[in-house]
Amino acid sequence: SEELLLNILPEEVAEELKDKGEAEAKLIDEVTVLFTDFKGFTAMSETLRPKELVRDLHECFSAFDHICQEHGLEKIKTIGDAYMAAGGLPTPNTTHAMDVIQAALEMRDFIVEGKARKLAAGLPYFEVRIGVHTGPVVAGIVGVKKFQYDIWGDTVNTASRMESSGDVGQVNISEATYALVKDQAGLAFTPRGKVQAKGKGELEMYFVSPIG
């Protein structure tokens, strides 16, 4: 059904699929990609019952979905306890870097507030690392029975490295993303210098936080 399609695919892509029976893969020159990952998830999965673990994950990812929607981002997928989204696609825009950073900061705050609640109740809690990078991607649909909208390219790999090279409770952004948002009001940046990133050598990174 159309509603189901729109739950799986961006609206423009769903329309193209409906009209033509296929949706062409596209190179999009500038997209900002976000990755989140929970620290200590494996340890938590050993202490929580499966039902509780999935409930907690569902709560977090549902909140992330809502935040993405509020900022015009496209959720790409979840992989285990990792969440991936992007701004500036399928229709390119000029606000994607700022949109993604604002969403990332809200995601971080949601997890921090959840941690405080869980600590007060003596329950296990999530902590999150978030990484952001900007660059070109190829976007398209893969799969036949269970198809999904996905993105590929070095930009995706680098965004993932921004996450894994970050710190818990921080939004870690690349030089490319920083260049697009450095003059935006309301943001503060902590330069980290060159940081070793797996398979990438040393990359300039910055922590970003809201002012006030």
From residue 34, give the alpha-carbon distance in Å to each of 46, 52, 68, 127, 143: 27, 26, 10, 16, 23
| Marked catalytic residue, from 75, 108, 129, 161 | 161
Is residue 162 within 8 Å of residue 135, measured between CB atoms? no
pLDDT-based confidence at residue 1 (cuts at 50, 70, 90): low
pLDDT tens-digit series, residues 155-191: 999 999 999 999 999 999 999 999 999 999 999 999 9
4, pLDDT greater than 80: no
pLDDT (mean) for 29-39:
97
pLDDT tens-digit series, residues 72-100: 999 999 998 999 999 999 999 999 999 99
Task: Classify 22-210 by CATH class.
Answer: alpha beta
| Marked catalytic residue, from 18, 77, 194, 198 | 198
Catalytic site includes residue 161 = yes
| pLDDT of the residue at 106 | 98
pLDDT-based confidence at residue 45 (cuts at 50, 70, 90): confident
pLDDT-based confidence at residue 128 (cuts at 50, 70, 90): very high
pTM: 0.93
Give me the phi and psi of 30, to 5 degrees please. -145, 110
3-class SS letters over 123-144: CCCCEEEEEEEEEEEEEEEECC
Catalytic site includes residue 198 = yes
Q: How far apart are CA 133 and CA 101, in angstroms?
A: 10
The full set of domain ranges for the chain reads 22-210
pLDDT-based confidence at residue 113 (cuts at 50, 70, 90): very high
